Structure 1
């Protein structure tokens, strides 16, 4: 379904009066993603994960390589194909607050893709938005509330409701739980798993949290310095990996129980 082939990217350095060497961000990235699969993209901050996510979403053209969705190039296809890709590929970003218009209501936020792509009557759209709110664990009565009235976890649920409104084939989740506390992280991961089971969607789950990647992913790609350094065909394979970076990431994760975190922090000093 998604084919990322030899993608490289760099940012031009310098300004009008002086030049610097181009800054490499991604180098020869290739992978595929099949229907109904959650692919974890794991790595520490600054490895190029979010840049790759933007390229896949069509927000940033790569310096080299191709990104194809359902056989169509995400940058060179005709207008009709690109319109279809934008409908079928949605996103949930890390900052749930900046991802929404603070002046819009929850109903307006969730209903935006429906207004852009569907021809629903006002009554049909209202009913659909109410269903989406309830599906992500909120109340239909929340429809007229603005973002300031919601907690971070609740607002991220609204972002997820907007992302699934068109029942897309792929959702790019870029650090979608990183700004939430542990309780909300667990709840959002459970919600995402349930939605994938209901709709058969694929996820590209971009994260630096090893435990989150292990929890939700079918396969996991590990990135470092803009390159893929390891691919695990299952969470179990990642845990058994002898790759130095993978072992470092696993060793750095906090134990789930608070009492064990004290032991972990003491032993790591």
Structure 2
């Protein structure tokens, strides 16, 4: 049984403008299916407007699809009871693109990272403090950073705070929605390396949503490409992606691949 199974998901938004009447639907996901195995990373690629982030929200339980199923650990997230959904929710976390809007600027690092612990665990003050220190160290920061506020961190450091919060409950799956796209190249490399280390040490699974082929291939075990709300390509590895004849895939590859076949390497 797959950790996550997305079955034939279709989703639409209401659209209104001066030409359309209220209530007309714009389809953003059309019959999307994919799966993620325990301990694996699935890279979800596509250009802006492909439906990647909407699919991420549906998987996270934030938007109920019009049709289809989201099976997480064998349970339909949208058909189960609230107590089961809450239990599953602790195993399903997220890291988003904008590291600054993802946190409360009035909370320090200890409060930000400790939020899921307060919601799900009953720890003594000493246990809570010790957990925060360990989480900070696990993302390459210092326990002394726990009293700092978001404006005192760089973008790369603050995204590490968001990652520490996401792994606090030792979840099964983390949805990474453009989690490195707002970082400079140096910080992107560091955070991708960190995510890879955490995947191994914590036994994590990822849905890595991005438009960056190079970033996706550096972290992902398999790849899916979306266009206009549909899955247009599924690849077991980067060699299959490179060999794809689909125009959208070729367009994604153009910016990073040399024209000479001998030089075609994403890593």
Q: TM-score by structure 1 length?
A: 0.92
The gaps in structure 1 that reach 5 residues or longer are: 256-269
Structure 2 CA distance for aligned equivalents of residues 245 and 212 of structure 1: 17
Q: Residue 79 of structure 1: CA displacement? A: 1.9
User: What does 1:6-155 align with in structure 2 at a 5 Å threshold?
Assistant: 6-14=8-16, 18-19=21-22, 21-155=24-158
Q: Residue 219 of structure 1: CA displacement? A: 0.3
Q: Residue 26 of structure 1: CA displacement? A: 0.6
In the alignment, what sits opposite 2:264?
Answer: none
Structure 2 CA distance for aligned equivalents of residues 26 and 94 of structure 1: 21
User: What secondary structure does 1:10 align onto?
Assistant: strand
1:209-266 Cα shifts (integer Å, max 9, x gaps): 01001110000000001000000011222122222221211112388xxxxxxxxxxx
Structure 1 CA distance for aligned equivalents of residues 68 and 102 of structure 2: 28
Whether the 8 Å contact between 1:217 and 1:235 is mirrored in structure 2 is no
Whether the 8 Å contact between 1:29 and 1:228 is mirrored in structure 2 is yes
In the alignment, what sits opposite 1:190?
Answer: 193
In the alignment, what sits opposite 1:172?
Answer: 175
Structure 2 CA distance for aligned equivalents of residues 203 and 235 of structure 1: 17
What root-mean-square deviation, in Å, do the aligned CA atoms of Structure 1 and Structure 2 show? Answer: 1.4
Whether the 8 Å contact between 1:209 and 1:253 is mirrored in structure 2 is no
User: What secondary structure does 2:78 align onto?
Assistant: coil
Structure 1, 103-112 or 68-77: larger mean CA deviation: 68-77
Structure 1 CA distance for aligned equivalents of residues 245 and 25 of structure 2: 34
Which structure 1 residue ranges, 4+ long, deviate > 4 Å from structure 2?
none
Aligned residues: 254
Structure 1 CA distance for aligned equivalents of residues 220 and 43 of structure 2: 5
1:168-200 Cα shifts (integer Å, max 9, x gaps): 000000000010000000000000000001011
Structure 2 CA distance for aligned equivalents of residues 20 and 131 of structure 1: 50
User: What secondary structure does 1:67 align onto?
Assistant: strand
Whether the 8 Å contact between 1:114 and 1:166 is mirrored in structure 2 is yes
Q: Residue 201 of structure 1: CA displacement? A: 0.8
Q: Residue 63 of structure 1: CA displacement? A: 1.2
Indicate yes or no: 2:213 matched with 1:210: yes
